[in-house]
Chains A and B, each alone.
Chain A
Amino acid sequence: MAAISRDEVAHLAHLARLDVTEDELDRFARQLEVILQAVQRVNEVAADDIPPTSHAVPLTNVYRADEPVPSLPRADALAGAPDVEQDRFRVPRILGEEE
């Protein structure tokens, strides 16, 4: 039986970088409970020896030649940015370190 606690929703929201409200925690926990009950029906199917499908089309070896194509003009690359400094994307101070 899938059950999902409020704490678990909070953890998932953190993993997904969503600063959810207390209200949302309650609501999502309740709704996800219902949804999970429904979707866990996939486990009724005996599929031990069934290969999973990750791609609808069975193509393989789709490669590109190693030939440069023009990049975006820098102005276009930066045009949508919330904040730009020294031709770079400016972000507030980073707390965590690189993975």
Chain B
Amino acid sequence: MSDLTKRTAAELAASMEAGEVTSEQVTRAFVDRIAAVDDKIHAFLHVDAEGALATARRVDADRAAGKDLAPLAGVPIAIKDIVVTKGLPTTAGSKMLESWIPPYDATIVERIRAAGMPILGKTNCDEFAMGSSTEYSAYGNTFNPWDLERIPGGSGGGSSAAVAARMAPLAIGTDTGGSIRQPGAVTGTVGAKPTYGANSRYGLIAFSSSLDTPGPVTRTMLDAAMLHEVICGHDPRDSTSIPQPVPPVVEAARQGLSGDLSGMRLGIIKEFAEEKGAEPGVVAAFEAGVEALAKLGATIEEVSCPHFTYALPAYYLISPSECSSNLARYDSVRYGLRVGDDGQHSLEEVMSATREAGFGPEVKRRIILGTYALSAGYVDQFYGQAQKVRTLITRDFEAAYSKVDALVSPTTPFVAFKFGSRTADPYQMYLADLFTIPSNLSGGPAISVPSGLSDGLPAGFQVMAPTMRDDVAYRVCAALESTQEPRLSDMIPDVV
């Protein structure tokens, strides 16, 4: 049964449906794989083998009883530890929430449970999703299965590494500036950021409210599309969730996999092409991907998005501003850490000591930056101006989409880097998100699919599409995946 972990989620679902294998067997295979491999990868912060197996047995019983089941029923999943799970520890990668057990489920977790998907556990991430390498997790590094000396990307390094190392067929990530797509790119897996508002943020521990988006982390495009249809859809508990039907992404992925992109107009962003910071191997993999798509019938043209070069600075004003406010609630009063309450100190002192002890360096840096960007005298030139740039970036997208159906770019300028190589200079780390951030600012969907290797390490190919046209991105990415034989995600070295 050990080869069960090599199957895709779609294949596992089909096997279960056909009665060839049970969810319990599948779930057991992944639980065993975690036990065998995670010592080396450290993708999980918490494993709930019992809970996952209990769900699996329930689904098996339901299937035996002939009940109607969701398409992914019985397929296990791992969840980034920034998504709230009732009764399961949820730390956000922070000491601040080390012992917190949430009394409620995130909406997407409710949907995952309702779909009958066993939850294997919670995956490592940069603290409060702030980072691009998972090195800022308070619970230690996660290691890239391609090279254990390298980062798995971030902030959702745990989810992508878990999927890459076949410890889970599916995982949930969250993407604020690239935290699903960039880990996908550097681990040779798929990372999809849905349209902002296409799914619910309720129960997603907030980093930057106007940017955060949960989404699928998988090995294939079809798996991503199937998971997308489980978690997306309007939620009345999230005021920014869009009351519209989910675009037919599974259908779009199947269409893309058929290898026909005739009539599809793709845009290459001039300003990104001119970016000097991208590694040659990454650029080469991207260009190969473009060529492959052109062979499938897509037309390629260059479009100009002049304000995209301001996306990174705008993002590093908007997201710290929102985070400085979102993280104010960690104050030692209602939940989480409290230090220094020895009867001698006032609440103010205990609060400041707790926040000093509970937050790591990147979180503190961003809180201070955001506090600065919002403070009287600076708010107009920093936060306010960044929001105007945000408008201009959205207008750039709109102008581009009047000419093309989707935009393509490398996902991230560089392949997985070595631990510690970018922590000394925070801005060097921020550059990892150069190409992913514009979609967060505008809200449109964007997916990273593996496109090739650069010096033996995977590079990601990003497809961006207009708001609520997630189907377009799925179709293009699936088409690219269909040109790979074998699929890049099947070439991931086995760490055992």
What residues of chain A have their CB less than 8 Å away from a CB belonging to chain B? 4, 8-9, 12-21, 24, 28, 31-32, 34-36, 38-45, 47, 50-57, 59, 62, 64, 72, 76-77, 79-83, 89, 91-96
Contact = CB atoms under 8 A, between A and B. Distances in A.
Contact of B388 (A52, A76, A95): A52
Instruction: Return the 6 tightest CB-CB contacts between A and B, nearest first.
Output: A56-B443, A80-B335, A52-B387, A82-B338, A47-B388, A19-B352
20 contacts: A17-B351, A18-B355, A38-B316, A39-B313, A40-B381, A42-B317, A45-B388, A52-B384, A52-B387, A53-B390, A54-B210, A54-B387, A55-B240, A57-B196, A57-B240, A81-B335, A91-B333, A92-B347, A93-B347, A96-B348
A32 B372 contact: yes
Given A62-B240, A94-B348, 15 more contacts: A17-B328, A17-B348, A18-B355, A18-B368, A20-B356, A21-B356, A32-B372, A38-B316, A42-B382, A47-B392, A52-B384, A57-B196, A77-B103, A80-B101, A82-B337
Q: Which of B240, B316, B317, B371 has the most CB of A within 10 A?
A: B371
B347 A94 contact: yes
Contact of B331 (A12, A17, A93): A17
Interface of B: 100-101, 103-104, 196-197, 210-211, 236, 239-240, 242, 307, 310, 312-314, 316-317, 324, 328, 331-338, 341, 343, 345-353, 355-356, 359, 361, 364-365, 367-369, 371-372, 375, 381-382, 384-392, 394, 425-427, 430, 441-443, 467
A16 B335 contact: no
B136 to A, nearest CB: 14
A14 to B, nearest CB: 8
A88 B61 CA distance: 44
B446 to A, nearest CB: 13
Contact of A42 (B239, B341, B361, B389): B389
B151 to A, nearest CB: 20
Given A62-B239, A76-B103, A47 B385 contact: yes
A44 to B, nearest CB: 7
A31 to B, nearest CB: 6
A16 B320 CA distance: 12
Contact of B443 (A4, A21, A57): A57
A24 B363 CA distance: 13
B316 A94 contact: no
A47 B346 CA distance: 46
A97 to B, nearest CB: 12
A53 B413 CA distance: 27
A51 B388 CA distance: 6
Q: Which of B346, B388, B426 has the most CB of A within 10 A?
A: B388
B364 A80 contact: no
Given A18-B352, A45-B388, A82 B336 contact: yes
B334 A39 contact: no
A82 B386 contact: no
A92 B333 contact: no
B394 to A, nearest CB: 6
B372 A4 contact: yes
B371 A12 contact: yes
Contact of A57 (B242, B314, B390, B391): B242
B257 to A, nearest CB: 30
A57 to B, nearest CB: 4
A19 B346 CA distance: 13
Given A18-B368, A32-B369, A52-B391, A42 B426 contact: no
B355 A56 contact: no
A64 to B, nearest CB: 7
Q: Which of B361, B368, B467 has the most CB of A within 10 A?
A: B368
B103 A72 contact: yes
Given A18-B356, A19-B352, A39-B316, A82 B324 contact: no
A45 B375 CA distance: 21
A24 B364 contact: yes
A42 B310 contact: yes
